[in-house]
Amino acid sequence: MTDSQTLYKKSNKNRLGEIGGVAPDAFQTFAAFNSNALKEGVLSAKLKELIAVAVAHVTGCAYCIDSHVKKAKTLGMTKEEMAEVIMVATALKAGSALAHGVNALNAFDQIEEEELYKNSYINRMSEFLDLNQETFGAFFTFDKLAMKRGLLSVKEKELIAVALAHTTGCPYCIDGHVKGAKGAKVSKEEMAEAIMVATALKAGSALAHSVNALSAYDS
């Protein structure tokens, strides 16, 4: 594969400074926010980087995965912890799609409600067990296993899940995992920091891809 066909190269990240050059105020403001969101606070710097690794797998940003895995490793993340984080991300990304299935059921059954999202809609999730027991059961088993205590505590996994739910934008997931996090003794301050990491990573993914925009613009 030639360079002209390669859309992702690690060295492309070196072009981020060019974006800063043409949009300096916004770039510098974001950089300050990103640094603040990921620094040690009520959550450790390591846990914030674990959250960042998880969110990067949901945004699908190759540059973010590369940089945050390396940063998390310097802070003591093991390969086994990384695998647990990725499984939580997988569960939340898949779970978001499944949760929205209750809206599909409403649409299919022509239930005309003005409110597209209501807590009560999630009760329809059990219908998927009747429609496709084997597949739904397999996902439910996986989701439960991904969220159980392992090298990471339930509290840590629920914090990661809250961040991921804000990344996928699933209101059912936000509601469920915030309640799960609160049950695991997560404070409002800890929750807020996790959400700020998610915000930084989701925005950072867009900014990171600007290096591809520069390449496209220059071609």
Per-residue confidence (pLDDT) for residue 2, from 0 to 100: 41
The residue ranges of every structural domain in the chain are 17-218
Q: Any idea which fold 17-218 has?
A: AhpD-like (1.20.1290)
Q: What is the pLDDT of residue 18?
A: 94
pLDDT at residue 7 tops 80: no
Tokens for 183?
């049950």
Mean pLDDT of 174-200: 98
Measuring CA to CA, which residue among 170, 98, 93, 171 is closest to residue 128?
Answer: 98
Mean per-residue pLDDT for 141-150? Answer: 98
Contact between 141 and 115 under an 8 Å Cβ cutoff? The reply is: no
Q: What is the DSSP letter of 1?
A: -
pTM for the whole structure: 0.92
Q: What percent of the chain has pLDDT over 90?
A: 86
Asked whether the predicted pLDDT for residue 1 surpasses 70, the reply is no
- pLDDT tens readout for residues 112-127: 888 888 888 999 999 9
How much is the average pLDDT of 170-183? Answer: 97
**What value does the mean pLDDT take over residues 145-156?**
98
At 138 the pLDDT is 96
For the residues of 55-104, what is the DSSP string, one character each? HHHHHT-HHHHHHHHHHHHHTT--HHHHHHHHHHHHHHHHHHHHHTHHHH
Residue 55, both tokens: 């969110």
Whether the pLDDT of residue 8 is over 80: the answer is no
pLDDT at res. 112: 83
- Tell me the pLDDT tens digit for each residue of 54-105: 999 999 999 999 999 999 999 999 999 999 999 999 999 999 999 999 999 9
pLDDT at 12: 83
Mean model confidence pLDDT for the chain: 94
